[in-house]
Amino acid sequence: MLKNQNKFLLNKRLEILKFFKKSIRRNGLRSDTIKLMSNDYDINENEINLLFPQGNSDIIKFTLDQLNNDLEKYCKKLNLIKLPLHKRIKKILLCKILLMDKEKDFYRKIFLSILLPKKNLSISNQLYNSVNQIWIIAGDTSVDFNYYTKRLILAGIYTRVLLFFFNNNNQDKLEEIIDTNLKRVSKIPELKLKIKLLKNNFPNILKIIKNFN
């Protein structure tokens, strides 16, 4: 019974997400997006608020969780285990870009949204969830300090890759950025140099916002 109920709620949330994406493409992300969505697509606003109590923030979190789930399902079809670790990471990053490319404008607006400080939506949390998922798919089993440094460094690379992707359509250059940064990571054993790499790769938030304008 509980399983059926959870499945029902998931399907309802996925249905709302479908209309949320339409509304974002049509009107952009706004403080009154839920009201607009309700009016434009004849959806009960109370139902939306019940399924997503924190409004836009909850729907965005759900959106990114679904993207991570889709990435995991997609990558399960690939024989990643035979690849060296850095090539696994590259393949997973490219798979995620491929999934986002189908709705690039929508995800671009979502990415910009999570850069802006909000009470219920943290860029650090969303970045951690994304890079943690990538390392899990890649088969990472580290439990020591490397667990954290791997995720911190990949967060910087991941952010830089997304920034380039949302502002360009050059696939070769995108892969070059991934290759260059992953190669640097594999050659750096010292913690202080890893931290330096993180600082070099993690773009300034204000700079990213400026590039989106």
Under a CB-based contact definition with an 8 Å cutoff, are residues 25 and 106 in contact?
Answer: yes
Residues sharing a CB contact under 8 Å with residue 23, sequence separation 6 or more, in sequence order: 33, 36, 37, 40, 41
Supply the DSSP symbol for 80: G
Q: What is the predicted pLDDT for the residue at 44?
A: 94
φ and ψ at 201, to 5 degrees?
-95, -25
64 burial via Cβ count (<10 Å: 0-12, 13-18, 19+): buried
Higher pLDDT, 76 or 127: 76
pLDDT at 66: 95
Q: Can you tell me the mean pLDDT for 54-61?
A: 91
Largest CA distance in the chain: 57
Q: Residue 125, Cβ neighbours under 10 Å: how many?
A: 12
The pLDDT, as a whole number, for residue 188 is 45
**Digit-coded pLDDT (tens) for 157-186:** 998 899 999 999 999 999 999 998 887 665
Q: Are 92 and 138 in contact (CB under 8 A)?
A: yes
**Segments in the chain forming alpha helices (H):** 2-27, 33-41, 45-51, 56-76, 85-101, 104-115, 123-137, 145-167, 171-186, 191-201, 205-212
What's the token pair of residue 103? Answer: 């709705």
The domain spans of the chain are 1-53, 56-212
CB neighbour class for 58 (10 Å; exposed up to 12, middle 13-18, buried from 19)? middle
- pTM strictly above 0.85: no
Can you tell me the distance from the alpha carbon of 12 to that of 48, in angstroms, rounded to the nearest whole number? 9
Both tokens of 152, joined, read: 């911190």
Q: Name the pLDDT band for 206 (thresholds 50, 70, 90).
A: very low
Q: What is the pLDDT of residues 118-165, one digit of tens each?
A: 555 566 788 888 999 999 999 987 777 678 888 888 888 998 899 999
pLDDT reported for residue 205: 41
